[in-house]
């Protein structure tokens, strides 16, 4: 019996002499995997127009019913997206979201992408709802912020081409 | 020295030593958490407070002794927690039990010699430095006080009017009775070797050779029985989380729970001190005759080593089952302690009569 006890004691002592496996989280952050699904982001084209055309297919695909989209019409004077409409309201309730990525798959313009940010915490339920402004990517250097004034007759398709519009 | 001066000096020394040990208790919790964490490949509490040091190369800072303020944070948390009293408890006993647990844990310290003959601030401490030096029934005093300690736990369990708590209390009482015998019998060989119950004399006798080398079996049995007496792992049946959720203290909260916690760790320190005094030469060590103050250092180092072994055992061994506990106590510990005690007595008499050695 005592031999086994000593062997057990030896095992724990051996582990004491090894460095701990703990990752000191707020100081040290482990890189996430390539296909990690974290917080969503609404993408923009290179000229700053939003990719989202407000079709609400993401909301339809969402199994947790976490996404709410309200679309409005684009005009050439106030253009948000190259399509016919844009998302004037885009809300994701992060308390409902299960980070399955179906919204990403459903999106016809690849506007919504699940990014790498996983530090989602809030003090109340209201702040769990991420709005369009919080989700939108920053304006790229090559483009301007929306709404943009665009020449008439350029953006005529209700669903734009996939590549960046000129 | 007049008796009144002696009393005043004992009060002052007692106050200082108690405060030192309460601080020691706070840092024992931190020590345990850090060591336990390392034994389990974790880091342990390392956020609350640190000593900043300039980093090598002059960039940023290195953090030394991270978590040094953790005991303070824990104490603040315990004090400000809601201290609710369940409706159906026996109020008087319920409030009394934590104190009954803490007071004996502190009282044990009265007879422990911390250093040899020493002069501090013009005060001469003879024959050794203790709160009550020269108590000629020191070992008996320790046995008596440690037995009182069980009342706090047993009454706390009873007064809580909760099944878990009372089961924990009953287990404690049974366990204490079983292991107190082995504890008592393993205390006897050092007393016989030193021919005194005065802890100071026992330490002085170990000047050449620590009693652990003469009486290894007694030392091991004493240490195991002390672990059982402390209700520490692997004898922590009374607070078996899986069976009793937390045992005797399940109905306690806030600082009253903190006092039970405190009692456990104070007893850890004081029983470590007793182990050191009885078997590991107390304050004895190299150069302690020239510099008596080294006695404090040796004493503390040996106590820390003993605490480390207790924590190490906790991290390694699973808990005893109740029948195993009783079997081990009555069928292994007690007979071995008794045989060891008898053999030691016979050998001592034979040596005195000049038949052997």
pLDDT at B126: 72
pLDDT at A67: 92
pLDDT at B11: 86
Q: Cβ of A15 and B39 within 8 Å?
A: yes
pLDDT of A93-109, one tens digit each?
A: 999 999 998 999 998 88
- Express as a percent the part of chain B with pLDDT over 90: 1
Q: Coil, strand, or helix at residue B88?
A: coil
User: What gap in Å lies between CA B141 and CA B87, rounded to an integer?
Assistant: 38
> In angstroms, what CA-CA distances link B116 with B20, B194, B294?
18, 16, 9
Q: Cβ of A9 and B313 within 8 Å?
A: yes
Q: Does residue B35 belong to the interface with chain A, where contact is any CB pair within 8 Å?
A: yes
Q: In 3D, which of B75, B224, B299, B24 has the Cα closest to residue A2?
A: B224
DSSP A56: -
pLDDT at B58: 61
Of B39, B43, B317, the CB nearest to A22: B43
- Express as a percent the part of chain A with pLDDT over 70: 96
β-bridge partners, A73: A85
pTM for the predicted model, two decimal places:
0.79
User: What gap in Å lies between CA A70 and CA A87, rounded to an integer?
Assistant: 6
Angstroms from B41 CA to nearest CA on chain A: 4
Q: Cβ of B312 and A13 within 8 Å?
A: yes
Which chain A residues have a beta carbon less than 8 Å from that of B312? 9, 12-13
pLDDT at B96: 86
Angstroms from B40 CA to nearest CA on chain A: 7
Judge whether B77 lies within some domain. no
**pLDDT exceeds cutoff 80 at B355:** no
* Total domains, chain B: 1
Judge whether B5 lies within some domain. no
Q: Cβ of A5 and B312 within 8 Å?
A: no
| Alpha helices (H) in chain A, listed in sequence order | 2-17, 57-61, 102-106, 132-135
Q: Which candidate in B38, B45, B63 is best for mutational testing of the A interface (most A CBs within 10 A)? A: B38
More confident residue, B130 or A106: A106
Question: Could you tell me if A42 and A111 are in contact, meaning their C-beta atoms sit under 8 angstroms apart?
Answer: yes
Of B39, B42, B43, the CB nearest to A12: B39
More confident residue, B110 or B57: B110
pLDDT of B7-44, one tens digit each?
A: 888 888 888 888 888 888 888 888 888 888 888 888 88
Residue with token string 């000191």: A24
Q: Domains for chain A: give ranges and CATH numbers.
A: 33-161 (3.30.70.3270)
Mean pLDDT of chain A: 86
Mean pLDDT of chain B: 83
Judge whether B61 lies within some domain. no
pLDDT of B53-67, one tens digit each?
A: 766 666 666 667 777
pLDDT of B210-240, one tens digit each?
A: 888 888 888 888 888 888 888 887 887 767 6
**pLDDT exceeds cutoff 90 at B104:** no
Judge whether B69 lies within some domain. no
Which chain A residues have a beta carbon less than 8 Å from that of B43? 20, 22, 24
Residue B165 structural domain: 94-352
Average confidence (pLDDT) over A5-31 = 85
Judge whether B111 lies within some domain. yes
Q: Does residue B305 belong to the interface with chain A, where contact is any CB pair within 8 Å?
A: no
Average confidence (pLDDT) over B329-337 = 88
Which chain B residues have a beta carbon less than 8 Å from that of A9? 312-313, 316-317
């Amino acid at each position: 019996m005592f031999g086994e006890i000593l062997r057990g004691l030896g095992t724990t002592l051996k582990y004491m002499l090894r460095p701990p496996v703990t990752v000191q989280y707020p100081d040290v952050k482990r890189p996430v995997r390539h296909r990690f699904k974290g917080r969503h982001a609404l993408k923009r084209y290179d000229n700053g127009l939003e990719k989202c055309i407000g079709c609400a297919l993401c909301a339809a695909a969402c199994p947790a019913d976490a996404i709410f989209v309200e679309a409005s019409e684009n005009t050439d004077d106030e253009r948000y997206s190259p399509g016919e409409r844009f998302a004037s309201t885009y809300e994701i309730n992060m308390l409902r979201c299960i980070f399955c990525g179906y919204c990403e798959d459903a999106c016809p313009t690849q506007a919504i992408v699940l990014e790498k940010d996983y530090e989602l915490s809030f003090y109340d339920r209201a702040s769990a709802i991420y709005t369009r402004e919080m989700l939108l990517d920053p304006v790229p250097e090559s483009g301007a912020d929306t709404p943009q004034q665009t020449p008439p007759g350029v953006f005529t398709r209700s669903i734009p081409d996939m590549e960046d519009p000129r | 020295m007049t008796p009144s001066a002696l009393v005043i000096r004992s009060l002052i020394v007692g106050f200082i030593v108690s405060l030192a040990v309460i601080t020691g208790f706070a840092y024992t919790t931190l020590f345990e958490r850090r060591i336990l964490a390392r034994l389990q490949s974790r880091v342990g509490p390392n956020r609350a407070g640190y000593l900043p040091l300039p980093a090598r190369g002059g960039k940023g800072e290195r953090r030394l002794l991270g978590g040094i303020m953790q005991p303070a944070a824990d104490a603040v948390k315990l004090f400000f927690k809601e201290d609710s009293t369940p409706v159906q408890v026996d109020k008087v006993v319920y409030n009394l039990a934590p104190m009954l647990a803490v007071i004996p844990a502190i009282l044990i310290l009265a007879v422990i010699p911390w250093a040899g003959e020493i002069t501090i601030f013009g005060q001469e401490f003879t024959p050794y430095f203790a709160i009550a030096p020269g108590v000629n029934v020191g070992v008996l005093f320790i046995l008596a006080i440690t037995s009182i300690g069980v009342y706090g736990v047993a009454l706390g369990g009873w007064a809580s009017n909760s099944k878990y708590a009372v089961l924990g209390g009953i287990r404690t009482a049974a366990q204490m009775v079983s292991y107190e015998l082995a504890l008592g019998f393993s205390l006897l060989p050092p007393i016989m070797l030193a021919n005194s119950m005065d802890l100071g004399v026992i330490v002085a006798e170990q000047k050449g050779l620590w009693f652990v080398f003469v009486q290894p079996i007694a030392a091991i049995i004493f240490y195991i029985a002390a672990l059982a007496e402390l209700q520490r792992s692997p004898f922590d049946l009374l607070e078996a989380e899986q069976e009793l959720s937390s045992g005797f203290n399940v109905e306690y909260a806030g600082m009253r729970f903190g006092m039970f916690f405190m009692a456990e760790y104070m007893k850890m320190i004081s029983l470590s001190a007793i182990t050191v005094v009885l078997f590991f030469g107390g304050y004895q060590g190299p150069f302690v005759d020239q510099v008596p103050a080294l006695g404090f250092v040796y004493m503390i180092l040996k106590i820390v080593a003993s605490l480390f072994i207790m924590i190490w055992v906790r991290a390694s061994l699973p808990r005893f089952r109740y029948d195993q506990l009783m079997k081990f106590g009555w069928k292994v510990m007690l007979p071995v302690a008794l045989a060891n005690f008898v053999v030691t007595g016979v050998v001592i008499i034979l040596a005195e009569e000049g038949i052997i050695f």
